[in-house]
């Protein structure tokens, strides 16, 4: 093992990563101020975490239209390190009706707290499990608005289930048109409280709606308990936020699983008030579970799906001369640079899911080439081989620009496209792009990503150095759905962008956890969308060797 590889791996804690717990955070707000007398706010909460004194966005909730007391269905999942002070910031924004981004949003206030150890000036979530605080704006309370964050530790079961519901003959609550129904699913907790699991979209003017399918973890749905009670309610949406109750029913995931055999399950949607008042009342419609499908990432991996890992490294002049100690590519004998840290942190995990841990290492600038200078055989033997090829090529190359990444995305997409048309179709491609600056071919890159979203492929972009990466968030889909220059949307979200500077002082291997967190769901989404089921382990013979 080379000194550089060993020092980088040790720095990242890959040989001795501490235990951690995953925690789910649910958010609700009350008393949000109206924009004006004629309209109510369209709230959204953004979760930020602090790293090295800087706040960076982790995730955000959905936007709820016309609500002063929203209960968000989005659940934040964060890693909880007992030994650390993890500062969180919840920001409430009133989103413009015509734009879901934050650029035109109205900031309503924020609340700061800690997730880990108790801090003298901040309040901890985990120890209290439920934290309610006033929102602050410029140091003062933001009117009567408040935020409540509920924390729950996850069990070990992180499998996902895909569900799809429809309804028929729902009660009509509108005078001049039909009801606009949406469905909410709640998990009933041990203390009798209910936690919102999912809220469907609203189907306008339809008494027999068919809602879009959705995926949810079993932790979120039922805390891993298949017999836990689930409460489902159907509402008629109103633009003023005062939705009309249509009916409800109770079920369990155990009952839902009967739909896995292809048959539909249905429940009577009951309005308790009508049940008491109306003599001949039967129900307020029927709700049908049309799909219950459950395949996990490990089902596909153990069934023979292999991860093909490609690394693209930015060798533009903006990185600086590798011989200069100020260069981002400078190789110190015992202090790995940021490129090496990111490469090893992510690559160490990805290579464990390949029966032959051989990875392509490619330069990307305005033209791409194999970093081992063998165009016919650009593969390297494992991550250690990638590190050695990277180290050996630096004295032999001339750095220049611009930073174009569309060609390398298309190069990997071509391989993924060939795989998609094979009989087995059980290879999934991950492209890791390490770059120090804003890309110069944004339009072509958007086009390439939209094309790649139809293929067995994911793209991970890690920003190296201190450049302004704000435009990169567009590729990640954080500010809305990514579209090609022609307006075509991505079929599925396949891009994850992370600035390395956010993890300089984070926990060991935190970078790898962040950039790879979405990959398992992306793999399952792709194969589920294609109707490809995992192969049985007994049908797959392989000499797969997994690292201990």
* pLDDT tens-digit map of 446-480: 999 999 999 999 999 888 888 878 777 778 765 56
Residue 366: pLDDT band (50, 70, 90) is very low
Give the pLDDT mean for 486-510: 81
Q: Is residue 82 a part of any domain in this protein?
A: yes
Give the pLDDT mean for 250-274: 92
* pLDDT tens-digit map of 62-101: 999 889 999 999 999 888 776 677 889 999 999 876 666 7
Indicate which CATH number applies to the domain containing 385.
Answer: 3.40.50.410
Residue 153: pLDDT band (50, 70, 90) is confident
Given a cut of 90, whether residue 194 has pLDDT beyond it is yes
Task: Report the pLDDT value the prediction gives residue 245, as an integer from 0 to 100.
Answer: 96
**Residues 140 and 60 grouped into a single domain:** yes
Task: Report the pLDDT value the prediction gives residue 301, as an integer from 0 to 100.
Answer: 81
Task: Report the pLDDT value the prediction gives residue 402, as an integer from 0 to 100.
Answer: 80
* 164 or 349, greater pLDDT: 164
Q: Is 51 helix (H, G, I), strand (E, B) or coil?
A: strand
DSSP state string for 331-356? --SSS--HHHHHHHHHHHHHGGGSSS
Task: Report the pLDDT value the prediction gives residue 480, as an integer from 0 to 100.
Answer: 63
* 16 or 61, greater pLDDT: 61
Given a cut of 80, whether residue 512 has pLDDT beyond it is no
Q: Is residue 545 a part of any domain in this protein?
A: no
Distance between CA atoms of residues 304 and 426, nearest Å: 7
Closest CA to 71 of 184, 229, 216: 184
Q: Are 292 and 267 in contact (CB under 8 A)?
A: no
Given a cut of 60, whether residue 545 has pLDDT beyond it is no
Q: Are 63 and 178 in contact (CB under 8 A)?
A: no
DSSP state string for 287-333? EEEEEEE---HHHHHHTT-EEEEEEEEE--GGG--TTSTTSTT---S
Distance between CA atoms of residues 283 and 268, nearest Å: 6
Q: Are 181 and 203 in contact (CB under 8 A)?
A: yes
Helices 382-393, 338-350: inter-axial angle, 10-degree rounding: 150
Select the highest-mean-pLDDT range: 222-226, 339-343, 368-372, 538-542.
Answer: 222-226
**Residues 399 and 511 grouped into a single domain:** yes
Q: Are 125 and 88 in contact (CB under 8 A)?
A: yes
Residue 213: pLDDT band (50, 70, 90) is very high
Q: Is residue 363 a part of any domain in this protein?
A: yes
Peptide bond into 402 cis (omega under 30): yes
Indicate which CATH number applies to the domain containing 223.
Answer: 2.60.40.150
Token pair 């080379």: residue: 2
Percent share of the chain, pLDDT over 90: 32
Least reliable range by pLDDT among 26-35, 179-188, 341-350: 341-350
Token pair 């009952």: residue: 255
Supply the DSSP symbol for 138. T
**Residues 484 and 345 grouped into a single domain:** yes
Residue at a domain's end among 83, 118, 153: 153
Give the pLDDT mean for 273-302: 89
**Residues 320 and 448 grouped into a single domain:** yes
Task: Report the pLDDT value the prediction gives residue 128, as an integer from 0 to 100.
Answer: 62
* 306 or 99, greater pLDDT: 306
Q: Is residue 526 a part of any domain in this protein?
A: yes
What total number of domains does the chain contain?
3
Token pair 């108790």: residue: 118
Distance between CA atoms of residues 397 and 108, nearest Å: 51
Mean residue pLDDT of the chain comes to 81
**Residues 148 and 164 grouped into a single domain:** no
Distance between CA atoms of residues 447 and 435, nearest Å: 19
**Residues 138 and 199 grouped into a single domain:** no
Task: Report the pLDDT value the prediction gives residue 542, as an integer from 0 to 100.
Answer: 36
**Residues 269 and 310 grouped into a single domain:** no
Q: Is residue 136 a part of any domain in this protein?
A: yes
Percent share of the chain, pLDDT over 70: 81
Distance between CA atoms of residues 150 and 24, nearest Å: 8
Residue 417: pLDDT band (50, 70, 90) is very high
Given a cut of 70, whether residue 60 has pLDDT beyond it is yes
Structure tokens at 529: 């969308």
Give the pLDDT mean for 489-518: 80
Least reliable range by pLDDT among 86-90, 314-318, 350-354, 404-408: 350-354
Is this structure's pTM higher than 0.85? no
Residue at a domain's end among 260, 277, 293: 293
Residue at a domain's end among 293, 318, 339: 293
294's CB contacts (< 8 A; 6+ apart) are 159, 160, 161, 162, 260
Q: How far is CA 100 from the centre of its chain?
A: 17
Owning domain of residue 476 = 298-535
Distance between CA atoms of residues 290 and 248, nearest Å: 18
**Residues 372 and 496 grouped into a single domain:** yes
Structure tokens at 166: 């429809």
Distance between CA atoms of residues 376 and 370, nearest Å: 9
Distance between CA atoms of residues 139 and 41, nearest Å: 22
Structure tokens at 467: 């450049």
53's CB contacts (< 8 A; 6+ apart) are none
Count Cβ atoms within 10 A of the Cβ of residue 255 and give its class: 0-12 exposed, 13-18 middle, 19 or more buried: middle
**Residues 145 and 165 grouped into a single domain:** no
Q: Are 110 and 92 in contact (CB under 8 A)?
A: yes
Given a cut of 60, whether residue 427 has pLDDT beyond it is yes
Structure tokens at 100: 């879901």
**Residues 320 and 284 grouped into a single domain:** no
Structure tokens at 450: 């939209």
Residue 229: pLDDT band (50, 70, 90) is very high
Token pair 């956890």: residue: 513
* pLDDT tens-digit map of 98-138: 666 777 788 999 999 888 644 445 566 666 678 899 999 98
Q: Is residue 543 a part of any domain in this protein?
A: no
Task: Report the pLDDT value the prediction gives residue 371, as an integer from 0 to 100.
Answer: 52
Q: Is 98 helix (H, G, I), strand (E, B) or coil?
A: coil
Query: Across-strand partners of 321?
Result: none
**Residues 57 and 84 grouped into a single domain:** yes
Token pair 């409460």: residue: 231
Distance between CA atoms of residues 481 and 485, nearest Å: 13
Residue 423: pLDDT band (50, 70, 90) is low
Q: Is residue 542 a part of any domain in this protein?
A: no
**Residues 134 and 175 grouped into a single domain:** no
Q: Is residue 544 a part of any domain in this protein?
A: no
């Amino acid at each position: 093992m080379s000194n550089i590889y060993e020092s980088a791996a040790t720095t990242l804690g890959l040989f001795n990563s501490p235990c951690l717990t995953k925690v789910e955070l649910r958010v609700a707000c009350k008393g949000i101020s109206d924009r004006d007398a004629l309209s109510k706010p369209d709230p959204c909460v953004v979760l930020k975490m602090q790293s090295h004194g800087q706040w960076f966005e982790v995730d955000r909730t959905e936007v709820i239209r016309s609500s002063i007391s929203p209960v968000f269905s989005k659940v934040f999942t964060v890693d909880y390190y007992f030994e650390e002070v993890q500062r969180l910031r919840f920001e409430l924004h009133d989103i413009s009706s015509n734009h879901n981004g934050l650029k035109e949003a109205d900031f309503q206030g924020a609340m700061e707290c800690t997730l880990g150890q108790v801090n003298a000036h901040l309040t901890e979530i985990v120890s209290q499990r439920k934290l309610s605080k006033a929102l602050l704006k410029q140091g003062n309370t933001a009117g009567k608005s408040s935020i409540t964050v509920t924390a729950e530790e996850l069990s070990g079961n992180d499998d996902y289930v895909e569900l799809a519901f429809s309804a028929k003959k729902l009660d009509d609550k509108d005078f001049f048109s039909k009801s606009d129904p949406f469905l909410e699913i709640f998990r009933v907790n041990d203390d009798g409280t209910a936690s919102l699991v999912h809220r469907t979209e609203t189907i306008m003017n339809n008494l027999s709606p068919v809602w879009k399918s959705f995926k949810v973890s079993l932790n979120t749905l039922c805390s891993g308990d298949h017999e836990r009670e689930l409460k489902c309610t159907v509402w008629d949406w109103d633009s003023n936020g005062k939705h009309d109750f249509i009916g409800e029913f109770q079920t369990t995931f155990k009952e839902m699983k009967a739909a896995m055999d292809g048959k539909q399950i249905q429940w009577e949607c009951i309005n308790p008030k009508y049940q008491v008042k109306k003599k001949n009342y039967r129900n307020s419609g029927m709700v049908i579970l049309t799909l219950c499908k459950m395949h996990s990432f490990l089902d596909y991996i153990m069934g023979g799906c292999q991860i093909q890992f490609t690394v693209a490294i930015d060798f533009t002049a903006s990185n600086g001369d590798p011989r200069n100690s100020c260069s981002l590519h400078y190789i110190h004998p015992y202090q790995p640079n940021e490129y090496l840290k990111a490469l090893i942190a992510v690559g160490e995990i990805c290579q464990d899911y390949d029966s032959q841990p051989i990875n392509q290492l490619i330069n990307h600038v305005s033209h791409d080439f194999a970093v081992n200078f063998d165009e016919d055989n650009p593969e390297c033997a494992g991550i250690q081989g990638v590190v050695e090829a990277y180290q050996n090529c630096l004295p032999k190359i001339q750095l220049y620009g611009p930073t174009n990444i569309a060609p390398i995305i298309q190069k990997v997409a071509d391989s993924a496209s060939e795989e998609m048309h094979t009989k087995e179709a059980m290879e999934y491609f991950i492209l890791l792009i390490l770059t120090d600056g804003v890309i110069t071919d944004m339009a072509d890159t958007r086009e390439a990503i939209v094309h790649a979203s139809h293929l067995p492929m994911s793209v991970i972009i890690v920003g190296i150095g201190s450049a302004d990466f704000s435009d990169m968030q567009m590729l990640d889909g954080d500010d809305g759905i990514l579209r090609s220059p022609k307006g075509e949307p991505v079929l599925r979200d396949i891009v994850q962008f992370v600035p390395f500077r956010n993890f300089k002082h984070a926990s060991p291997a935190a970078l790898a956890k962040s950039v790879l967190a979405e990959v398992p769901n992306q793999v399952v989404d792709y194969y589920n969308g294609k109707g490809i089921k995992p192969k049985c382990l007994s049908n797959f013979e392989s000499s797969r060797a997994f690292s201990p």
